Amino acid sequence: MTADLGDQVLTPLNFLERAEAIHADRTAMTYHSRSWSYGEFAVTARRMAGTLAGHGVTPGDRVAVLASNTPLMLLAHFAVPLAGGVLVTLNHRLAAPELAYIVQHSGASLVLFDNEFHSAAHSFGIRTLAVGEVLEAGGPEYARSVDDERSLISLNYTSGTTGRPKGVMYHHRGAYLQALAMIHHARLGLDTVYLWTLPMFHCNGWCFPWAITAAAGTQVCLDRPDPDTVWRHLRSGGITHFNAAPTVLTNLTQHREAANGPVGRTVEVGTGGAPPSPTLLSELTALGIHTTHLYGLTETFGPAVVNEPRPEWNSLGHTDLSRAMAVQGNSNIVGTGIRVLDTVGKTDDAPVVDVTADGTILGEIAVRGNTVMLGYYHGDAATEAARMGEWFKTGDLGVMHPDGSVEIRDRAKDIVISGGENIATVEVEHVLTSHPAVAEAAVIGIADPKWGEVPVAVVTLRPGAEVSIEELIAFTRTQLAGFKTPKHVYFRELPKSGTGKILKHRLRELISPEAPQALSAIVE
């Protein structure tokens, strides 16, 4: 009883306590035909915390979870911190050696798993607890209080598209504030019914497990976000919100169910992970799916940047609206700044300045705020490399528009440099996906003896569509400078990460050996 007046720790666990106290009868979670009220959900989470404590989890211990978007995964977002532990969500789509690396690196002493992942969980050589042993335990309730709001709540391993995955350290304070930001930007409330399409193993589902609990809405768990299932929920499940990467949304708009027209109520979707193409945004609008374009990284608790829908957009036509929505936007409501640093092509010891806000000059995007990670777990060198004082350098390249909004042009490592010119592959990809035959496109650089690199496109077509390589190249040439035009087009499936990101490094491995020695010689 010595705490100061008005001095309470910021932790998302506060939200569960409040929801239980005042919305005990509202539905917290559903899964298949079962549902849990907030009263039941909170008791289950505390019993689960009791089970963890009974199995030796003490403050600071890492607890891994191997599950899809099921009740186990959602409850773990509360139960693990209630036990004082640090949540380590595992991407179940990773290969065994990748999972083993993360478990070992995190130092997790215990893994909770859904039954389908039984053998993977048992391969780690650490203590295991199956979903039944955790959710149905019925033991004593347990809840530790959080003493330090900057203490760890979770580790989120990056997808590791280059090099080893890094363990991003999330703190209670950041998770709390990001949840409040998401509530504002997604307009979550008591009437929210949120469908779990975005993997919770990715940035703790952008902190939505905590945000929806704060708003006392309902979370609909889902084994797999396949288009059939998502469409079924959209048509008959009363869903008001979901989040998904653009590739998942593309699968929805190209599903046969899309031909049956709008969903019948406004569904709010946050999308990020890659810039959605203007074409995709138009198709979603036509389905009654209102999209907010978000941008962030694992290091920023998910969306650090929001393209806030402007009231004046109501009078825009489809094309202008999609164009307005295609930029990444601005700091979310709890962010304390975004910059585009003039570092491209500069030496490390050059003084760092911001690029001119002209929408043209390419620089590296940096963000600041309480929703930036503490650092990389056991990765001080990587942390120092990614920070500039209190600013986190994202590794993404973009421009600053005169209105203060940021637009991403490319990942720093994905940019193609051809004859000394920077080619933002995202720009080329958006032109390609605006072609009626193209479903998805990725542009990569291929080594070329004359230009250093030249861009090539890898494309998947819409069902039943046909187009020739020559036609597509000619189409892009009408809208882009010659050096940006793909020198070749490959038609093939695009390799993707568990979160739906196109894996360009994998694409380069696949395409480079197939490519002619000097594409430039062919097309010159």
Least distance in angstroms from the C-beta of 5 to a second copy: 5
CA dihedral sign of residues 463, 426, 422, 410: negative
Q: Interface with a second copy includes 267 (CB under 8 A)?
A: no
**Rule CB under 8 A: is residue 381 a binding residue for a second copy?**
no
Does residue 127 belong to the site contacting a second copy (CB under 8 A)? Answer: no
Residue carrying structure tokens 């959602």: 74
Q: Which stretch binds a second copy (CB under 8 A): 73-81, 289-297, 336-344, 506-514?
A: 336-344
Tokens (6 digits) for 355:
């690029």
Q: Is 348 in the site for a second copy (CB under 8 A)?
A: no
Q: Check if the beta carbon of residue 374 is closer than 8 Å to that of residue 156.
A: no
17 binds a second copy (CB under 8 A): yes
Burial 176-208 (b: 16+ CB within 10 A, else e): bbbbbbbbebbebeeebbbbbbbbbbbbbbbbb
Size of the site for a second copy (CB under 8 A): 61
By CB under 8 A, tell whether 310 contacts a second copy. yes
Name the minimum Å distance from CB 479 to a second copy.
Answer: 29
Residue 412 interacts with a second copy (CB under 8 A): yes or no: no
User: What does the chain come to in residues?
Assistant: 524
Binding status of residue 122 toward a second copy by CB under 8 A: no
Q: From the centroid of its chain, how far is CA 153?
A: 18
Q: Does 96 engage in binding with a second copy (CB under 8 A)?
A: no
In the complex with a second copy, the residue whose CB is nearer, 167 or 335, is 335
Taking CB under 8 A as the rule, does residue 352 contact a second copy? no
CB atoms within 10 A of CB 343: 20
In the window 189-218, what residues touch a second copy (CB under 8 A)?
189-191, 214-216
Give dist(CA 267, CA 462) in Å, integer: 25
Separation between Cα atoms, residue 32 and residue 11, nearest integer Å: 30
Q: Is 334 in the site for a second copy (CB under 8 A)?
A: yes
Q: Are strands 406-411 and 391-400 parallel, antiparallel or unpaired?
A: antiparallel
Tell me the closest approach of the beta carbon of residue 36 to a second copy, in angstroms: 18
In one-letter notation, the amino acid at residue 151 is S
Per-residue contact flags (x/-) with a second copy for residues 165 to 184, judged by CB under 8 A: ------x--x-----x--xx
Q: Quick one: which of 21, 96, 417, 465 contacts a second copy (CB under 8 A)? A: 21
333 binds a second copy per the rule CB under 8 A: yes
Please give the backbone phi and psi of residue 166, each rounded to the nearest 5 degrees, phi first: -110, 145
In 406-437, at which residue ranges do the beta strands (DSSP E only) sit? 406-411, 416-418, 421-423
User: How crowded is residue 162: how many other Cβ atoms within 10 Å of its Cβ?
Assistant: 11
Residue of the chain from 361, 374, 473, 518 that contacts a second copy (CB under 8 A): 374
Structure-token pair, residue 237: 């499940």
Per CB under 8 A, the segment of 6-14, 76-84, 90-98, 449-457 that binds a second copy is 6-14
Q: Which stretch binds a second copy (CB under 8 A): 88-96, 259-267, 373-381, 486-494?
A: 373-381
Residues 458 and 474: their CA atoms lie apart, in Å, by 15
Nearer to a second copy, 128 or 371 (CB): 371
Q: Segment contacting a second copy (CB under 8 A): 18-26, 159-167, 197-205, 432-440?
A: 18-26
Which residue is it, tokens 């739906």?
A: 500
With binding defined as CB under 8 A, does residue 337 bind a second copy?
yes
* Cα-trace Rg, the chain: 23
Count how many Cα atoms sit within 13 Å of the Cα of residue 101 in the half-sphere of its side chain.
Answer: 15
Q: How far is the CB of 331 from a second copy (least distance, A)?
A: 6
CB 167 within 8 A of CB 215: no
Is the alpha carbon torsion for 92, 93, 95, 98 positive or negative? negative
By CB under 8 A, name the one of 12, 273, 335, 486 that touches a second copy.
Answer: 335
Return the residue of 239, 373, 426, 441 that touches a second copy, per CB under 8 A. Answer: 373
Select the residue interacting with a second copy from 58, 336, 360, 468 (CB under 8 A). 336
Interface with a second copy includes 316 (CB under 8 A)? Answer: no
Give the interface with a second copy as residue ranges (CB under 8 A). Answer: 1-8, 10, 14-15, 17-18, 21-25, 150, 171, 174, 180, 183-184, 187, 189-191, 214-216, 308-311, 329-331, 333-338, 368-375, 383, 387-390, 392, 403-405
